[in-house]
């Protein structure tokens, strides 16, 4: 009898794939990022008794079990509660000017009559197309924006720590991205924050889709010095003598009770409107000047998703290494659910593109995190879970794939 292979990160030791899409049972759910630390055990996507993932189950519910006219009515009632009558901002929309935030902000203003202030937590390194789309969001989409760029020295160090300690270089960015909306709402006296889709669209607990409000634990804290960035607490950074608490001002999560007392609510537009990423793309092209990349994105077949930051490709590389789920898997699984492609087509695309290495911005990424190529690969390889990866003739290969072409399939 063969020995059971070790599974890192608390992942299921037996890899299974959804019967409807191409996602595996290794997909982690969203976490409270500023509590993320080395060795953290992940909650993962749920599969039902028929072997179907919770994202596909929710998609079926979207198609047959939700009255979207009623949800639209609820959205209008919600917006009426917060609508300003004096020209002041009445909703904060965090985003980059990508397809999802472009759709969210534009439709709230021009269909529902709100006065949104868009706020952007700056990417690590803007791509040319990302910066162009950001500008188009304002100048073609007709929206106001605040671009918040944190201390670059500190952010680079945190990103470096996040890569080496957690193999999660996006972690400090996600902390800032989640905090910026509620923080700006409090600053400007706005009580409504609207994000786009709920992460349950992609496999978080399906129960999250019964509640339009984001869990406040994602963006509030009563222990700011204990917040972790790259597995290192704020207090530990301060103790080095290189930084003060003031340097962390953009990252300090608002106090939960303070937000409650100020009446700040954070909602998902995807609860009220039937969410389809490709339709968001078409809408943003038509209404906010959004442009896809001229070439497909490394690691996938698409040209329009997560294209604003040069670090993006390495976020998806790290999910491939830790969970066996690369960028193409995320894209293809979503498009299967939305009836854009078949599961067979998705499996072919995943086999072709998922493990492609993102070489275009590799040198810039290494420079950003002050890491040699040798150090990079040492960190990558030590985070490969034995139950996901196998070395064959000196080359790392996946043990299992959705097309049953892994080394152990």
| Alpha-carbon span 13 to 215, nearest angstrom | 29
Q: State the Cα–Cα distance between residues 251 and 331, nearest whole angstrom.
A: 30
pLDDT tens sequence across 145-172: 999 999 999 999 999 999 999 999 999 9
C-alpha to C-alpha distance for 13 and 388, rounded to whole angstroms: 9
Average the pLDDT over each of 27-41, 136-150, 289-303, 344-358 and give the range with the smallest value: 27-41
Calculate mean pLDDT across residues 38-60: 92
Crossing angle between the packed helical segments 277-288 and 99-110, to the nearest 10 degrees: 60
Q: How far is residue 114's CA from residue 100's CA, in Å, rounded to a whole number?
A: 17
Non-local CB neighbours of 133 within 8 Å, separated by 6+ positions: 96, 97, 98, 102, 289, 290, 291, 307, 308
> pLDDT-based confidence at 122, cuts 50/70/90?
very high
Q: Which of these, 184, 121, 198, lies nearest to 155 by C-alpha position?
A: 121
For the chain, the helix, strand and coil percentages under 3-state DSSP, each to the nearest 5 = 45, 10, 45
The confidence score (pLDDT) of residue 38 equals 86
**Alpha-carbon gap, residue 313 to 345, rounded angstroms:** 22
CA trace torsion 31, 32, 38, 44 (10° rounding): -10
Asked if pLDDT for residue 9 goes beyond 90, the answer is yes
Distance CA 42, CA 396 (A): 23
pLDDT of 408 over the 50 cut: yes
pLDDT at 186: 92
Q: Where in the sequence of the chain do the CATH 3.40.50 domains occur?
A: 68-272
- CA angle, corner 281, sides to 318 and 356, nearest 5? 30
Average pLDDT over residues 43-54: 95
Residues 221-276 pLDDT 10s? 989 999 999 999 999 999 999 999 999 999 999 999 999 999 999 999 999 999 99
Confidence of residue 39 (pLDDT cuts 50, 70, 90): confident
**pLDDT per position as a tens digit, 321-343:** 999 999 999 999 999 999 999 99
User: Residue 306 has which token pair?
Assistant: 């997560």
Report the pLDDT value the prediction gives residue 205, as an integer from 0 to 100. Answer: 66
Structure tokens at 1: 């009898």
**C-beta of residue 268 within 8 angstroms of C-beta of residue 195:** yes
Rounded Cα gap, residues 83 and 192, in angstroms: 9
Task: Calculate what percentage of the chain has a pLDDT beyond 90.
Answer: 87
Q: Are 198 and 232 in contact (CB under 8 A)?
A: no
Alpha-carbon gap, residue 379 to 348, rounded angstroms: 29
pLDDT of residue 273: 95
Architecture of domain 68-272: 3-Layer(aba) Sandwich (3.40)
Per-residue pLDDT tens over the stretch 174-228? 999 999 999 999 999 999 999 998 877 776 766 666 789 998 989 999 899 999 9
pLDDT at 208: 67
1 pLDDT tier (thresholds 50, 70, 90): very low
Mean pLDDT of the chain: 94
Residue 199's pLDDT is 72
């Amino acid at each position: 009898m063969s020995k059971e292979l070790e599974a890192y990160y608390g992942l299921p030791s037996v890899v299974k794939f959804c019967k409807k899409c191409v996602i595996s049972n290794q997909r982690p759910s969203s976490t409270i990022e500023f509590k993320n630390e080395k060795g953290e055990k992940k909650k993962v996507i749920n599969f039902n008794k028929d072997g179907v993932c919770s994202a596909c189950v929710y998609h079926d519910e979207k198609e047959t079990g939700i009255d979207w006219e009623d949800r639209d009515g609820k959205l209008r009632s919600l917006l009426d509660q917060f609508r300003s009558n004096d020209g002041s901002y009445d909703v904060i929309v965090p985003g980059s000017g990508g397809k999802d935030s472009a759709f969210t902000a534009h439709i709230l203003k021009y269909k529902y009559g709100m006065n949104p202030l868009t706020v952007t937590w700056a990417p690590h390194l803007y791509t040319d197309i990302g910066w162009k789309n950001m500008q188009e969001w304002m100048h073609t989409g007709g929206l106001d924006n605040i671009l918040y760029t944190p201390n670059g020295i500190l952010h680079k160090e945190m990103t470096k720590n996040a890569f080496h300690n957690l193999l999660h270089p996006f972690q400090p960015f996600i902390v800032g991205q989640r905090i910026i909306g509620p923080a700006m709402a409090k600053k400007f006296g706005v009580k409504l924050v609207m994000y786009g889709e709920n992460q349950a669209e992609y496999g978080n607990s399906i129960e999250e889709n019964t509640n339009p409000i984001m869990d406040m634990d994602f963006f509030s804290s009563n222990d700011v010095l204990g917040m972790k960035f790259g597995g290192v607490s704020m207090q530990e950074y301060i103790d080095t003598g290189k930084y003060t608490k003031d340097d962390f001002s953009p990252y300090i999560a608002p106090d939960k009770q303070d937000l409650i007392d100020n009446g700040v609510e954070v909602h998902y537009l995807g609860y009220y409107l039937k969410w389809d990423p490709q339709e968001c793309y078409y809408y943003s092209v038509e209404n906010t000047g959004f442009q896809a990349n001229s070439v497909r994105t490394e690691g996938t077949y698409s040209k329009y998703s997560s294209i604003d930051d040069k670090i993006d490709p390495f976020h998806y590389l790290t999910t491939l290494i830790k969970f066996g789920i690369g960028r193409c898997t995320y894209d293809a699984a979503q498009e299967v659910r939305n009836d854009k492609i078949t599961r067979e087509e998705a499996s072919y695309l995943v086999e072709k593109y998922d493990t492609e290495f993102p070489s275009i911005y590799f040198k810039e990424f290494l420079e950003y995190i002050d890491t040699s190529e040798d150090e990079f690969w040492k960190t990558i390889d030590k985070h490969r879970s034995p139950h996901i990866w196998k070395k064959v003739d000196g080359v790392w290969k996946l043990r299992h794939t959705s097309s049953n072409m892994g080394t152990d399939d």
